[in-house]
Amino acid sequence: MSVIEISCLEIWREISNYVDDDVAPELRARMEAHFKSCAHCKAVLDGTKNVVKLVADGVEYELPGGFSDRLYRKIKGK
């Protein structure tokens, strides 16, 4: 079964949706066929997946110490 080719530009447009498993099956098949033969797009895909994982795991914003207490006291004072 042959799939219709897809351009790199179209790949880049859909790559974020692809990573989120949010593309229609036919488009998904076309993209997967493309990744098999295009090293650049495969690199972009891997990098994008890595970024999503890094951002999810690695960006930690700690609540400043005492944040809750200060907020609570200010609410009480209002």
Q: Which is nearer to other proteins, 5 or 7 (CB)?
A: 7
User: Among residue numbers 17 through 56, which ones bind other proteins (CB under 8 A)?
Assistant: 17, 19, 22, 39-40, 43-44, 46-48, 50-52, 54-56
Buried-state track 23-37, b at ≥16 Cβ within 10 A, e below 16: beeebbebbeebbee
Question: Could you give the CA distance from residue 4 to residue 20 in angstroms, rounded to a whole number?
Answer: 22
Q: How far is the CB of 1 from other proteins (least distance, A)?
A: 29
Positions touching other proteins (CB under 8 A) are: 9, 12-13, 15-17, 19, 22, 39-40, 43-44, 46-48, 50-52, 54-61, 63-64, 67-68, 70-72, 74-76, 78
